[in-house]
């Protein structure tokens, strides 16, 4: 049996925070020590979740004193960390419910989802994990955790796995969102929050939670990337003429959104040809084979010179950001990424008109991009719904390229955003100040999440 003193040495980040739990219950790692290994069942359904999941797996491998075995569902990045995915992660990706309403596909999708859900539950039961971790994709994740917990209860399991969910649901964005948090505690033992204030609200509604910081803080390239840094060297890497006007284009990570947004972006680029005759675009391709195929097929209709920036290399991505004067992106996590990279950006979003009506009715915040929400100011211009049309996008991008004051506002705001997303620099620092050996180069959101998992003792 693993001694508690050894665990304290392995996990200095959370020793004091969970000392009271250990006095009453055994931690995850102590229970796993009986089997001589730690079994983690982990599920992610989207590209961003694959990224978070892979980093968490890497941190668990670094911090765990026991050998680890992983099983579940994930993408290429999680597979590199040792996961053999039950089925392609893309099988779980879907846009809003309304996107499928006019078609028979709605029924077929939910039928397929039920099959995948049963397959995942059966695989988890066979694997006998000590820990189950779901990453984002709350529609599938919460159904999975709920049904797994029901199965444990039916079987009267005394040592059922501990359930963690990484990325709290966006309760702050929707009317009545906070009121739905209370039910989570029935099937989620602990939430990992990536935004400030989420932990406090979750705990107030009976859900154990830890603010670990935003996953993008892990990328050392984000912290070192400066606007226009080594631009000439970057241009030469991409073989770009020195007088080029370069725009990074990020149409999304899911096939449905790329199919909707890329044609609009294409027409906007065509309108920008007159004011910027040397316009060149760097199109960032998400780690999704369907998206990769669609963009490749669409490239012959793209109106200006374009270079595809493949996923998989953060250095390549941030080199592309470094040589760009502006970015046009579909709303999502990428808005934070671009802000932290100090690249002036425009956020765009279109959906099925029924989805848009639903969002207008249910949303309680005026902005859609996370930097604007956190900073409580429309620092990043947004073109949403019917305003997301080629002429409007071209007009805003032209201003963004030429208006130095507008550009500088975004760059300056990035410093404040970075502090808000870091638990040691936002209002959460008082919770962690007693960890004398926690310094900036050792802290990462994944390390904090992994330490929480390994030290966790279920109440």
pLDDT in tens, 8-22: 434 444 444 444 434
Distance CA 436, CA 13 (A): 9
Contact in structure between 416 and 266 (CB atoms under 8 Å):
no
Question: What local confidence, expressed as pLDDT, does residue 9 receive?
Answer: 38
Distance CA 449, CA 131 (A): 13
CB count in 10 Å sphere of residue 427? 12
Q: Residue 127 CA to chain centroid, in angstroms?
A: 26
Three-state SS string over the chain comes to CCCHHHHHHHCCCCCCCCHHHHHHCCCHHHHHHCCCCEEEEEEECCHHHHHHHHHHHHHHHHHCCCCEEEEEECCHHHHHCCCCECCCHHHHCCCCHHHHCCCCHHHHHHHHHHHHHHHHHHHHHHHCCCEEEEECCHHHHHHHHHHHHHHHHHHCCCCCCEEEEECCCCHHHECCCHHHCHHHHHCCCEEEECCCCHHHHHHHCCCCEEECCCHHHHCHHHHHCCCCCCHHHHHHHCCCCCCCEEEEEECCCCHHHHHHHHHHHHHHHHHHCCCCCCEEEEEECCCCHHHHHHHHHHHHHCCCCEEEECCCCHHHHHHHHHHCCEEEEECCCHHHHHHHCCCCEEEEECCCHHHHHHHHHHECCCCCCHHHHHHCCCCCCEEEHHHCCHHHHHHHHHHHHHCHHHHHHHHHHHHHHHHHCCCCCCCCHHHHCCCCCCCCCCCCHHHHHHHHHHHCCCC
Distance CA 408, CA 207 (A): 40
- Is the pLDDT confidence value at 226 over 60? no
Contact in structure between 333 and 316 (CB atoms under 8 Å):
no
Roughly how many angstroms between the first and final C-alpha of the chain, as a whole number? 20
User: What's the pLDDT band for 83 if we cut at 50, 70, 90?
Assistant: very high
Question: What local confidence, expressed as pLDDT, does residue 110 receive?
Answer: 65
Contact in structure between 20 and 455 (CB atoms under 8 Å):
no
150, 151, 152, 180: which is closest to 168 by C-alpha?
A: 180
**What rounded mean pLDDT belongs to the chain?**
83
Q: Is 179 exposed, middle or buried (0-12, 13-18, 19+ CB in 10 A)?
A: exposed
Contact in structure between 60 and 453 (CB atoms under 8 Å):
yes
pLDDT in tens, 104-137: 455 566 677 788 999 999 999 999 999 999 999 8
Contact in structure between 196 and 421 (CB atoms under 8 Å):
yes
% of the chain surpassing 90 pLDDT: 56
User: What's the pLDDT band for 436 if we cut at 50, 70, 90?
Assistant: very low
Distance CA 238, CA 259 (A): 26
Distance CA 452, CA 443 (A): 13
358, 383, 388: which is closest to 372 by C-alpha?
A: 383
Q: Is the dihedral of CA 37, 38, 41, 46 positive or negative?
A: negative
- Is the pLDDT confidence value at 100 over 90? no
Question: What local confidence, expressed as pLDDT, does residue 437 receive?
Answer: 36
110, 138, 137: which is closest to 50 by C-alpha?
A: 137
pLDDT in tens, 159-208: 899 999 999 988 877 777 787 788 899 999 999 999 988 999 999 999 99
């Amino acid at each position: 049996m693993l001694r508690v003193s050894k665990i304290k040495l392995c996990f200095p980040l959370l020793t004091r925070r969970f000392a009271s739990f250990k006095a009453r219950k055994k931690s995850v790692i102590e229970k796993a020590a009986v089997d001589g290994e730690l079994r983690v069942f982990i599920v992610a359904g989207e590209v961003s979740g694959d990224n978070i999941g892979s980093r968490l797996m890497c941190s668990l491998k670094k911090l765990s004193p026991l050998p680890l075995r992983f099983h579940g569902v994930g993408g290429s990045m999680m597979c590199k960390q040792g996961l053999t995915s039950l089925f392609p992660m893309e099988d779980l990706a879907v846009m809003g419910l309304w996107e499928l309403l006019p078609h028979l596909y709605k029924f077929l999708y939910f039928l397929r989802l039920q099959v995948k859900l049963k397959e995942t539950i059966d695989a988890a039961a066979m694997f006998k994990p000590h820990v189950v971790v779901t990453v984002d994709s709350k529609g599938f994740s919460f159904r999975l955790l709920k049904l797994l917990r029901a199965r444990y209860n039916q079987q009267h399991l005394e040592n059922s796995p501990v359930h963690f969910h990484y990325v709290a649901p966006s309760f702050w964005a929707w009317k009545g969102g906070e009121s739905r948090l209370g039910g989570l505690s029935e099937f989620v033992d602990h939430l990992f929050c990536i935004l400030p204030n989420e932990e406090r609200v979750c705990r107030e509604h009976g859900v154990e939670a830890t603010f670990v910081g935003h996953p993008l803080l892990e990328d050392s390239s984000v912290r070192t990337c400066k606007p226009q840094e080594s631009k000439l060297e970057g241009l030469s890497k991409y073989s770009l003429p020195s007088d080029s006007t370069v725009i990074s284009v990020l149409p999304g990570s899911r096939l449905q959104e790329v199919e909707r947004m890329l044609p609009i972006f294409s027409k906007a680029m065509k309108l920008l040809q007159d004011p910027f005759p040397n316009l060149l675009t760097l199109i960032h391709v998400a780690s999704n084979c369907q998206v990769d195929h669609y963009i490749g097929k669409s490239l012959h209709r793209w109106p200006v010179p374009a270079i595809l920036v493949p996923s998989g290399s953060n250095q390549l991505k941030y080199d592309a950001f470094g040589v760009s004067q502006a970015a046009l992106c579909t709303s999502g996590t990428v808005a934070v990424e671009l802000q932290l990279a100090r690249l002036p950006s425009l956020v765009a979003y279109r959906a099925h008109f029924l989805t848009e009506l639903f969002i207008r009715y249910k949303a309680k915040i005026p902005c859609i991009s996370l930097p604007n929400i956190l900073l409580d100011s429309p620092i990043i211009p947004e073109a949403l719904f019917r305003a997301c049309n080629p002429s409007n996008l071209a007009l805003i991008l032209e201003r963004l390229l030429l208006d130095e004051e507008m550009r500088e506002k975004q760059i300056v705001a990035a410093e404040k955003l970075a502090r808000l997303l870091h638990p040691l620099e936002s209002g959460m620092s008082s919770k962690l100040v007693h960890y004398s050996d926690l310094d900036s180069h050792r802290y990462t959101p994944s390390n904090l999440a992994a330490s929480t998992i390994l030290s966790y003792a279920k109440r």
